[in-house]
Structure 1
């Protein structure tokens, strides 16, 4: 990895919403529809953030029927750095468990 590649990787992760997305993904793989509830954002807005994270290779996608399930790319050269940084952040106010309790958890399988 050279300086430019590291800069691009770190820039992609240096947005509050993208940090939240990465924090959620550090716990479990999720679908866009779950992020719409967790972040109270539209699907197109979240898709733009996912596009940037995917371009930086921070995340991976897996197709399950008509759904796309997103997870962290554990093979990324800076994965250990990212994991350390994410561990330093507080837990988000909304959690997947809170979605379940509110009856808003979507089953994307």
Structure 2
């Protein structure tokens, strides 16, 4: 049942996109808000669900929270992520002229 709960989260396009972006590096919430063109509470809600299932880690730096993948022990999720485009491809599709925000 635990695996099905985790995989169910990947059925949401936004969460799947977030995980695709996290494949190559950690991201600050402020960057994800800009890239996804969503409100900060909306992005945080998706990240909260992923964190609750142990799929992402969070690290607080000042007022910002940074997220990274936590899938080393979840090969079934890693297999899904392996099929997603790399970060640069996702960025070019979502925000062609994106430059990282100054979150500090």
Normalised by the length of structure 2, the TM-score is 0.83
Q: How many residues align?
A: 99
Is 1:88 equivalent to 2:83 in the alignment? yes
CA distance in 2, matches of 1:98, 1:55: 32
Displacement of 1:89? 2.1
TM-score (ref. length: structure 1): 0.80
Kindly provide the CA deviation profile for residues 40-83 of structure 1, in whole angstroms up to 9, marking residues without a partner as x: 111111111011101111000011111111000144x31x3322
> Looking at both structures, which has the greater relative contact order when contacts are Cα pairs under 8 Å and sequence separation is at least 6?
2
**Is 2:41 the partner of 1:44?**
yes
Runs of 5+ consecutive residues of structure 2 not aligned to the other structure: none
d(CA) in 2 for partners of 1:55, 1:107? 27
Please report the RMSD computed on the Cα atoms of aligned residues, expressed in angstroms: 1.8
Aligned partner of 1:108 in structure 2 is 103
Tell me which structure has the larger Cα radius of gyration.
1
